[in-house]
Structure 1
Amino acid sequence: MIHYAEVWKINKDSKIPYTDQLVRNIRWSIFTGEVRWTEKLPPIRVLADELGISINTVRNAYKRLEQQELVVTRPHIGTIVQTESMDKKKLEEELVTSIKNAIYYQLSVDEVRSIVDKVLKEIEESKKKSVIFVYEEKNIGHRFAMQIAREADVQVEEVHLDQLRDYLEEHRDQIEHLDAIITTYFQYAQVRSIARSYQPIIYGMTVEVAPDVMEALQSLESGSVAAVICKKEESADGFVNLVHRMCPDLDVEVYYEDKRSGWRKIAQKASVICVSPQLAEKVRQCDWKIPVYEMWDRINEQSMNMLKDYLH
């Protein structure tokens, strides 16, 4: 997701007219793929405010780009990138000229090669789908976000649930280019409630039980107690049912975060603790001499495959 105010920043100390600077900046973004074909440029007034320049400067820059057949302005829609009619030979000539100028102005061949390699890498990144992952607990959210980025090959921005409303408002112009708003089903209803205008791109992910959890449970003696600690809004029924199927001889007791007084029984009775990842750190701080396992530690493979199909 391109941040126009940073990428198209105007150097107000330069002698180059603002319009020329803006045209060059936008052309560069088009040539490198930072803004994609059919992508809508920000509204004139919004871009003028973000860059701290006049509305007429932005309007003139858009007109010049339209004259160069890089964009087209459509009534009630806005200014859209159109690169399908660009002359490939003209692009090659411009690229060669830029490289020659760089070397002429005392950049070494290795420096130019390094710059080109960096730009190509940035282009590859910019072509990736862009998503945000909404989380409630930072460490767990980061773990899931990195899994999504790695396995779905997308750019992921992490947003805390409490900050989602402000994020959507602040990035309103960029959100239209967003490919998905992703969260786990634990926060799915809350995300849909906050992001009502974006429901078509809200995607819920399921998580799966970590293998070491089941191994620990299956190693317990018959009649042992497994304590499950979770938040009230996180239904533990599915996990409890799974334990009963896999380890029918175990007793499973559920404790909730908002009823800490009942936790005293855990140290006396439980042989193992299975905890919601959001509460794992808090439970470990209790310093009980009992093994503590997170109930789930990754996004379910089937759910990930469905996300990849949805995005690509």
Structure 2
Amino acid sequence: MFELDMRSRKPIYEQLVEKIKELIMNEVLKADEQLPSVRALATELTINPNTIQKAYRELESQGFIYSIKGKGSFVNPNNQTRDIEKIQSVKKDLEKLVLEALYLGIPAQEIIKLVQDLDASKGGGESHD
């Protein structure tokens, strides 16, 4: 399904949470699709089942998955949670790029004009006029 970086400073369960969220947001994992069992995924990734369980609990608390006792964990069909998460991710990436552009000397007005031109040409977003 995916690989984890065992040498990373980021805890394994956090890596697992991020990977599963990414698969859900990119619709590799579809709504109501069953996730691998804790035991099966732990065996596949050769990590402690408690780590998988912790990641699944975190994903459930964030609204990405839901569990049915005795059946397993499933992808939550609620798109709103995924949309909010994706928007936050895009905003964070955009912030980094804007800060880099400002650092490199691109004037703020030029960045704003670029965004406005893109918005006009793509017909994107909501209008707040």
User: Does 2:54 correspond to 1:60?
Assistant: yes
Aligned CA distance change for structure 1 residues 43 and 105 (closer, same or farther; 3 Å): farther
Give TM-score scaled by structure 2 length: 0.68
Aligned CA distance change for structure 1 residues 90 and 47 (closer, same or farther; 3 Å): closer
Return the offset for 1:84: 1.1
| Residue aligning to 2:18 | 24
Structure 2 distance, partners of 1:51, 1:101, is 32
| Residue aligning to 1:93 | 88
Q: Relative contact order: is structure 1 or structure 2 higher (C-alpha 8 Å, sep ≥ 6)?
A: 2
Return the offset for 1:102: 6.5
| Residue aligning to 2:105 | none
Return the offset for 1:90: 4.5
| Residue aligning to 1:51 | 45
Return the offset for 1:98: 3.1
Return the offset for 1:75: 1.6
Structure 2 residue identity aligned to 1:97? K
Structure 1: tracts of 5 or more residues without a match = 107-312
Structure 1 distance, partners of 2:4, 2:76, is 24
Kept in 2: contact 1:40–1:79 (CA 8 A): yes
| Residue aligning to 2:118 | none
| Residue aligning to 1:12 | 6
Aligned match of 2:76 in 45, 57, 82?
82
Return the offset for 1:83: 3.5
Give TM-score scaled by structure 1 length: 0.30
| Bigger fraction of residues in helix | 2
Structure 1 residue identity aligned to 2:61? Q
Structure 1 distance, partners of 2:29, 2:23, is 6
Aligned match of 1:42 in 28, 31, 36?
36
Structure 2 distance, partners of 1:16, 1:45, is 22
Structure 2 distance, partners of 1:101, 1:10, is 25
After superposition, residues 177-192 of structure 1 pair within 5 angstroms as none
Structure 2 distance, partners of 1:38, 1:18, is 25
Q: Deviations over 1:181-215 (max 9, x none)?
A: xxxxxxxxxxxxxxxxxxxxxxxxxxxxxxxxxxx
* Identical residues among aligned pairs (%): 25
**Bigger CA radius of gyration:** 1
Aligned length: 100
